[in-house]
């Protein structure tokens, strides 16, 4: 069993990457065809068809089958089909985007639309540096499908384009709008007479009160401790302003050791020192910790706005989860308490070598239509990057609190993208440092040191393409 | 009939050999070629970089850390598994001595044999998930039992001091059953009269095991040793499912490093292939060494 697995996995690591015929012909890397560029489907551009879709061209869509499932995509495909009845749509859903699609990228026959998400996500840095993703610029300038007088770009929430841009080119459509914050149960807090604290000192005082009541103030996903890096970095940005995030994203020297990061790490160390974290949390994964939180064993948890739909099955009736921004460190904070991290997430892309590239862009136009976006929000309880798409949709409690928090945050909202630029830095290096820090094995100085070492190792690695952003 | 031999051999041999060459040998050869490039895996372009990947590998602390863990697995898993396997197999086929004359197993041998084999029937992923819950710090079976008798309840997979050893224990647990059956089958091939003679001479169980059983089982033990050594260089599925190498890389193994480098947090297929090539030579050397070290004269019953 094990020996076979070694073989299978060695093979999977790119060795059996091409079909058998390609293997015999030479090597896995030589199998790609640059010569088939002429086979792409092209239609005539017109006002009705600004992207030049060939109406009978088949469209292949690969969806990540995760928290959102695949039903929403089938609905989008039906909308596409409605517009192009002659188009054959091939739909598939998988949890292993990388393993399923890697050979097809090499082969030069990728699908037309890929929802590159989940644990099996393909590293975007690699894709971008190999020019494997199509430029979505034409999509942005095309008129919206059902919002008259506006281009697709005009209909998007602020920041949606920036997140998917690499060196100024818009390559990745991040479809959902996600807020990251600290969650609590409104019911639990109402029952106990607690109220969410707006400053860090009050937060610590509240934690003390919660602990005295026999409930652990905090829990987190010990197997994926990077979840805790989010509120920590958010605290630092609110204290020191958005430049804290820009420095981290641009891999500036000692960006992780800025005064703001130091202040934030010192503050968060308090909940570790005072044992305000549920015992055993370092051994829990995200499902286990979120479940413990839903069972009322802990009061706070850090997560993005997907939490509510992820926890749907285990959330007790009337739990009423609410998202809140991180507490302010003090009156000297550059951003107000209401400022929250909001960003576009759930990446979709059209491979540069897609046969029906125009069809892929058109599919995005369907997704970004008001009808497409509202249908998505209704089906999976998540916001999209289409402004105003929640109008007339009944939102569940947690998502309504997300909308409220984003409204209150307004133009003070902030974000960082180093996790998109350098997947390894967040997923492996900062993750490991957070694990050590929040389990109390290292202090704030060592924590920032370990993060900085990770960032430096990325900065020094000449095989990784570097990106810069200005704001 | 003699002249009809070759067509038959060719018909039966060529298809499997061809398949083996296409799906095993050729990928291996390509790994060597890819390991000398900077291929990033999602385009057809790759530039040759010579041995640069291997040079990086030499200075890659994470790779060495993973290798260290594999070395620990290599030193411990085969010894523990074979030791336990031999012990259980002995008890099952000749442990019982009370009352009757002759050589029999302990009472309930058939049941034990089946129970020991259970883990072998389960998929490795199921085993990993099962044990992940057993090690659950708050509601797991293990900590539940510890708390019930008033002992402290560690976080097991969440603590870098214990995570690796927890997975190692599962690895042994999952493997022992198979070797109990393997050794048991080999023991049943040993003539009973040898044991009866030993019994008459008044040898203890330990002496019987050490002087009679193990020497007569040596071929089988050797095979087990090689299998387990190769398994110890792997450990990928259990580690990836249970700890994903964490916390803080404390349970990382070389297979996981390779996977993470190509499919996980990066897409450096060239570098991952270099790790694969190193793993290939390591596995080969371990297998050869195990064969050499364990070589003894074969005993034949006449």
pLDDT digits (tens, 9 = 90+) for A253-300: 999 999 999 999 999 999 999 999 999 999 998 999 999 999 999 999
Class at the top of the CATH hierarchy for domain A179-342+414-460 = alpha beta
Q: Which of B31, B37, B227 is opposite residue A15, by nearest beta carbon?
A: B31
d(CA A245, CA B167): 38
From the centroid of its chain, how far is CA B24?
Answer: 20
CA A332/CA B91 separation, integer angstroms: 73
Q: Which residues of B touch A8 (CB under 8 A)?
A: none
Q: Which residue does chain B place closest to A427, by CA atoms? A: B265
* Strand (E) or helix (H) holding A170: strand A169-170
Could you give all domains of chain B from N- to C-terminal order, each with its CATH number? Answer: 61-293 (1.10.3720.10)
Of A5, A15, A196, nearest in space to A103 by CA: A15
Kind plus residue range of the DSSP H or E element containing A303:
strand A298-304
* DSSP letter (8 states) at residue A425: I
Question: Which residue in the set A20, A105, A131 is minimally distant from B22, CB to CB?
Answer: A20
**How many angstroms away from the CA of A92 is the closest CA of chain B?**
20
A10·B280 Cβ contact <8 A: yes
Nearest-CA neighbor of B31 among B295, B198, B237, B278?
B278
Q: Decide whether A38-177+344-399 matches A179-342+414-460 in CATH topology.
A: yes
Alpha-carbon torsion (A379, A384, A390, A395), positive or negative: positive
Q: How far apart are CA B74 and CA B229, in angstroms?
A: 6
Structure tokens at B218: 């040596």
Alpha helices in chain B (DSSP H): 5-20, 26-34, 52-58, 61-94, 109-121, 124-134, 141-148, 163-188, 192-200, 205-207, 214-232, 236-242, 254-262, 269-293
Q: What is the pLDDT of residues B43-63, one digit of tens each?
A: 888 889 989 999 999 999 999
In sequence order, the 6+-apart residues with CB closer than 8 A to the CB of B105 are B91, B92, B93, B94, B95, B96
C-alpha distance from B114 to closest chain A C-alpha (Å)? 19
Q: Are the Cβ atoms of B136 and A288 closer than 8 angstroms?
A: yes
What's the pLDDT at A10?
Answer: 44
* pLDDT tens-digit readout, A30-75: 544 444 445 788 888 888 889 999 989 999 999 999 878 899 999 9
> Which of A 120-139 lie inside 8 A of B, CB atoms?
120, 122-123, 125-127, 129-132
Strands A173-185 and A383-384: antiparallel
The answer to whether B44 touches A29, Cβ cutoff 8 Å, is yes
A60 in Cβ contact with A110 (< 8 Å) = no
A186 and A369 in contact (C-beta within 8 Å)? no
Question: What are A202-244's pLDDT values in tens digits?
Answer: 999 999 999 999 999 999 999 999 999 999 999 999 999 999 9
pLDDT at A325: 97
- Residue A27 above 60 pLDDT? no
Residue A4 pLDDT greater than 70, yes or no: no
How do beta strands A216-218 and A298-304 pair?
parallel
CA A432, A438, A439, A442 torsion: positive or negative? positive
Q: What is the DSSP letter of A414?
A: B
Report chain B residues whose CB lies below 8 A from the CB of A24: 22, 26
For the segment A79-138, what is each residue's pLDDT rounded down to a tens digit?
999 999 999 999 999 988 998 999 899 889 999 999 999 888 898 988 998 999 999 999
Residues 246 through 285 of chain A touching chain B, CB cutoff 8 Å: 278-285
Give the span between the Cα atoms of B155 and B161, in whole angstroms: 10
DSSP state of A428: I
By three-state DSSP, how is residue B285 classified?
A: helix
* Distance separating alpha carbons of residues B234 and B66, to the nearest angstrom: 11
Q: Which residues contact A304 (CB under 8 A, 6 or more apart)?
A: A178, A179, A180, A230, A345
**Which residues of chain B are within 8 Å of residue A5 when distances are taken between CB atoms?**
124, 234, 236-237
Report, as ranges of residue numbers, the positions in chain B whose pLDDT lies below 50: 99
**CA-closest candidate to residue A112, choices A301, A361, A303:** A361
Query: What H or E segment, with its residue span, contains residue A174?
Result: strand A173-185
- The conformation of residue A315, written as its DSSP 8-state character, comes to P
Per CATH, the number for A38-177+344-399 is: 3.40.190.10
Residue closest to B264 by CA, chosen among A219, A428, A79: A428
Residue from A109, A127, A101 nearest A32 by CA? A109
Contact A439, A222 (CB under 8 A): yes
DSSP A312: T
Give the pLDDT confidence of A169-211 residue by residue, as tens digits.
999 999 999 999 999 999 999 999 999 999 999 999 999 999 9
- Return the bridge partners of A301, or none: A183
Total number of residues shown for chain A: 471
Q: How far is CA A185 from CA A205, A404, B7, B36, B101, in A?
A: 18, 16, 76, 55, 71
The total number of residues shown for chain B amounts to 302
Least confident of A159-163, A196-200, A314-318: A159-163
Distance of CA A397 to the CA centre of its chain: 22
Residue B204, classified by CB atoms within 10 Å of its CB into exposed (0-12), middle (13-18) or buried (19+), is exposed
Q: Which of B42, B234, B264 sits opposite A5 (nearest CB)?
A: B234
How much is the pLDDT for B9?
86
Match 């450990």 to its residue by tokens: B235
Q: Chain B closest CA to A343's CA: distance in Å?
A: 21
- Which of B247, B276, B278 would best serve as a mutation to test chain A binding (most A beta carbons within 10 A)? B247
Pairing of strands A216-218, A341-348: unpaired
Q: Between A29, A283, A285, which is nearest B34 by CB?
A: A29
Q: Which residues of B touch A7 (CB under 8 A)?
A: 24
* Closest among A132, A62, A125 to A95, alpha carbons compared: A62
Contact A104, A112 (CB under 8 A): no
Cross-chain residue pair A123–B27, CB shorter than 8 Å: no
Measured distance CA(A373)–CA(A388) in Å, rounded:
10
Spatial CB neighbours of A176, under 8 Å, sequence gap ≥ 6: A306, A344, A345, A346, A382, A383, A384, A385
Please, what is the average pLDDT of chain A?
A: 89
Q: Do B155 and A280 touch (CB under 8 A)?
A: yes
Structural contact between residues A422 and A456, judged by C-beta atoms closer than 8 angstroms:
no
Average pLDDT for A375-391: 88
What pLDDT does residue B102 have?
Answer: 56
Token pair belonging to B143:
């900590």
pLDDT score for A14: 39
The C-alpha atoms of residue B287 and residue B278 are separated, in whole angstroms, by: 14
DSSP summary character for residue B268 = -
d(CA A175, CA A173): 6
Whether B159 sits inside 8 A of A282 (CB atoms) is yes
C-alpha dihedral (A135, A141, A143, A146), degrees to nearest 10: 60
Find out whether A131 and A362 touch, Cβ atoms under 8 Å. no
Q: How many CA atoms lie within 13 A of A24 on its CB side?
A: 7
Separation in Å, CA B49 to CA A247, A349, B42, B54 = 32, 30, 18, 10
Distance, in Å, from the CA atom of A131 to the CA atom of A135, rounded to the nearest integer, reads 9
The Cα–Cα gap between B239 and A9 comes to 14
User: What residues does each domain of chain A span?
Assistant: 38-177+344-399, 179-342+414-460
**Torsion angle defined by CA atoms of residues B59, B60, B66 and B68, in that order, rounded to the nearest 10 degrees:** 20
Token match 């890929």: residue? A114
- Closest chain A residue to B235, measured at CA: A2
Using a CB-CB cut-off of 8 Å, the residues of chain B touching A27 are 30, 33-34
Report the alpha-carbon distance of residue B44 to residue A35 in Å, rounded. 12
| Residue A36 at interface with chain B, using a CB cutoff of 8 Å | no
pLDDT score for A13:
42
Is the Cβ–Cβ distance between A471 and A242 less than 8 Å?
yes
Tell me, what's the pLDDT at B295? 72
Contact criterion met (CB < 8 Å) for B243 and A223: yes
Q: Which pLDDT score, from 0 to 100, does residue B75 have?
A: 93
**pLDDT category, A15, cuts 50, 70, 90?**
very low
Query: Is there a contact between A13 and B159 if contact means CB atoms under 8 Å apart?
Result: no
Residue A369 CA to residue A155 CA, distance in Å, equals: 9
Judge whether residue A24 has pLDDT over 90: no
Compare CB distances from B23 to A14, A16, A30 and report the shortest one's residue.
A16
Instruction: Extract the tokens encoding A223.
Output: 């197997």
With beta carbons under 8 A apart, name residues in chain B contacting A3.
Answer: 227, 230-231, 234
* Residue closest to A363 by CA, chosen among A95, A183, A204, A142: A142
Do residues A111 and A61 touch, judged by C-beta distance below 8 A?
yes
Query: A109 exposed, middle or buried (CB, 10 Å; 0-12, 13-18, 19+)?
Result: middle
**What are residue A347's DSSP bridge partners?**
A174
């Amino acid at each position: 069993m094990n020996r076979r697995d070694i073989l299978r996995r060695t093979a999977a690591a790119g060795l059996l990457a091409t079909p058998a015929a390609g293997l015999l012909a030479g090597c896995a890397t030589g199998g790609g065809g640059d010569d088939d560029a002429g086979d792409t489907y092209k239609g005539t551009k017109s006002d009705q068809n600004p992207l030049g879709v060939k109406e009978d061209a088949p469209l292949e869509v690969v969806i990540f089958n995760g928290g959102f499932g695949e039903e929403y995509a089938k609905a989008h495909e039906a909308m596409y089909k409605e517009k192009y009845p002659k188009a054959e749509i091939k739909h598939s859903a998988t949890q292993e985007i990388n393993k399923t699609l890697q050979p097809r990228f090499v082969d030069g026959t990728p699908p037309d639309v890929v929802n590159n998400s989940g644990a099996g996500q393909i590293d975007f840095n690699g894709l971008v540096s190999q020019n494997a993703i199509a430029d979505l610029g034409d999509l942005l300038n095309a008129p919206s499908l059902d919002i008259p007088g506006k281009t697709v770009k005009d209909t998007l929430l602020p920041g949606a384009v920036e997140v998917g841009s690499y060196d100024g080119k818009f390559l990745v459509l991040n479809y959902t709008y996600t807020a990251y914050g600290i969650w609590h149960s409104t019911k639990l807090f109402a029952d106990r007479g607690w109220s969410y604290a707006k400053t860090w000192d009050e937060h610590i005082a509240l934690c003390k009160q919660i602990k005295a009541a026999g409930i652990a103030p905090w829990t987190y996903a010990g197997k994926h401790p990077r979840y805790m890096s989010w509120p920590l970095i958010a605290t630092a940005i609110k204290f020191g302003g958005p430049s804290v995030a820009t420095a981290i994203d641009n891999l500036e020297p000692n960006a992780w050791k800025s005064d703001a990061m130091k202040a934030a790490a010192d503050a968060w160390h308090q909940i570790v020192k005072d044992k305000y974290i549920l015992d055993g949390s370092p051994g829990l994964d995200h499902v286990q910790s979120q479940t413990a939180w839903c069972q009322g064993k802990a009061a706070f948890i850090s997560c993005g706005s997907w939490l509510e739909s992820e926890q749907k099955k285990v959330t007790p009736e009337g739990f009423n989860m609410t998202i809140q921004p991180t507490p302010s460190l003090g009156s000297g904070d550059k951003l107000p308490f209401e400022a929250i991290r909001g960003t576009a997430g759930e990446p979709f892309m059209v491979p540069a070598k897609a046969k029906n590239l125009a069809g892929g862009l058109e599919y995005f136009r369907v997704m970004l239509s008001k009808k497409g976006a509202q249908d998505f929000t209704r089906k999976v309880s998540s916001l999209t990057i289409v402004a105003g798409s929640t109008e007339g949709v009944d939102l569940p409690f947690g998502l309504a609190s997300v909308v409220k928090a984003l409204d209150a945050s307004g133009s003070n909202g902030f974000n960082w993208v180093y996790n998109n630029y350098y997947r390894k830095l967040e997923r492996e290096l900062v993750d490991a440092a957070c694990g050590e820090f929040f389990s109390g094995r290292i202090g704030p100085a060592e924590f920032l040191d370990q993060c900085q070492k990770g960032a430096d190792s990325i900065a020094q690695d000449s095989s990784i393409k570097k990106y810069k952003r200005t704001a | 009939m003699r002249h009809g031999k070759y067509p038959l051999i060719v018909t039966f041999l060529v298809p499997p050999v061809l398949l083996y060459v296409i799906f095993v040998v050729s990928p291996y050869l390509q790994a060597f070629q890819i390991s000398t490039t900077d291929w990033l895996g999602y385009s057809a372009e790759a530039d040759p970089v010579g041995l640069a990947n291997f040079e990086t590998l030499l200075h890659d602390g994470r790779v060495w850390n993973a290798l260290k863990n594999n070395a620990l697995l290599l030193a411990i898993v085969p010894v523990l598994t074979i030791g336990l396997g031999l012990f259980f197999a002995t008890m099952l086929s000749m442990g019982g001595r009370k009352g009757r004359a002759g050589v029999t197993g302990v009472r309930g041998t058939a049941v034990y044999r089946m129970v020991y084999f259970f883990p072998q029937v389960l998929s490795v992923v199921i085993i990993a998930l099962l044990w992940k819950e057993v090690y659950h710090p708050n509601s797991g079976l293990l900590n539940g039992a510890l708390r019930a008798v008033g002992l402290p309840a560690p976080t097991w997979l969440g603590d870098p001091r214990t995570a690796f050893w927890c997975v190692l224990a599962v690895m042994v647990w999952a493997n022992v059953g198979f070797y109990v059956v393997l050794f048991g089958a080999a023991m049943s091939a040993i003539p009973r009269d040898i044991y009866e003679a030993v019994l008459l001479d008044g040898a203890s169980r330990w002496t019987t095991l050490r002087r009679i059983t193990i020497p007569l089982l040596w071929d089988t033990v050797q095979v087990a040793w090689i299998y387990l050594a190769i398994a110890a260089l792997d450990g990928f599925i259990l580690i990836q499912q249970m700890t994903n190498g964490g916390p803080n890389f404390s349970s990382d193994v070389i297979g996981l490093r390779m996977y993470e480098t190509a499919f996980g947090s990066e897409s450096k297929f060239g570098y991952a292939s270099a790790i694969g090539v190193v793993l290939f030579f390591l596995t080969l050397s371990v297998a050869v060494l195990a064969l050499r070290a364990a070589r003894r004269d074969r005993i034949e019953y006449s």
